[in-house]
Structure 1
Amino acid sequence: MSAPVLYLMICGAGPADHIDRMVKLAQVDGWDVWCIASPSAVEHFLDLEALEALSGHSVRTGHQRAGQPALPKAAAVIVAPATYNTINKWAAGIADTYVLTQLAELTGLGVPIAVLPFVNTALANNRVFHRSVAELRESDVTVLFGEGGFIPHPPRTGGKVMDSYPWQAALDAVKASM
Structure 2
Amino acid sequence: MTSRTLYLFGSAAPPVFDVARVMEDAQARSWDVCLGLTPSAARWLDNSLDGLTALSGHPVRSEYKLPGEPDVWPKADVILVAPATFNTINEWALGLSSKFVVGVAAESIGRGIPLVTMPCVNAAYVQHPAFATSVETLAGAGVTVLYGKGGFVPNEPGEKRPFPWAVALDAVETIVSSGP
> TM-score scaled by structure 1?
0.92
Q: Which runs of 5 or more residues in structure 1 are unaligned?
A: none
Aligned residues: 174
Q: Check conservation: 2:2, 2:31, Cα contact below 8 A.
A: no
Secondary structure of 1:177's counterpart equals helix
Secondary structure of 1:121's counterpart equals coil
Matches within 5 A, 1:94-133: 94-133=96-135
Which residue does 1:64 correspond to in 2?
Answer: 65
Matches within 5 A, 1:19-168: 19-46=19-46, 47-65=48-66, 66-157=68-159, 160-161=160-161, 164-168=162-166
Q: Check conservation: 2:114, 2:143, Cα contact below 8 A.
A: yes
- Residue range with higher mean Cα deviation, 30-39 or 122-131: 122-131
Amino acid at match of 2:137: E
Q: CA deviation at 1:67?
A: 4.7
Q: CA deviation at 1:102?
A: 0.6
Amino acid at match of 1:128: A
- Please give the alpha-carbon distance, in whole angstroms, between the structure 1 residues aligned to 2:18 and 2:11: 12
The one-character-per-residue Cα deviations of 1:61-83 (angstroms, maximum 9, x if unpaired) are 21123555432110001011100
Runs of 4+ residues over 3 Å off in structure 1: 65-70
- Cα RMSD of the aligned pairs, angstroms, is 1.4
- Please give the alpha-carbon distance, in whole angstroms, between the structure 2 residues aligned to 1:3 and 1:70: 16
Q: CA deviation at 1:45?
A: 3.5
- Residue range with higher mean Cα deviation, 66-75 or 78-87: 66-75
Secondary structure of 1:62's counterpart equals coil
Q: Check conservation: 1:21, 1:167, Cα contact below 8 A.
A: no
Which residue does 2:169 correspond to in 1?
Answer: 171
- Please give the alpha-carbon distance, in whole angstroms, between the structure 2 residues aligned to 1:71 and 1:105: 16
Q: Which runs of 5 or more residues in structure 2 are unaligned?
A: none
Q: CA deviation at 1:156?
A: 1.6
| Cα 1:128–1:6 shift into 2, 3 Å | same
Q: CA deviation at 1:90?
A: 0.5
Identity rate, percent: 41
Q: CA deviation at 1:44?
A: 1.9
Secondary structure of 1:6's counterpart equals strand
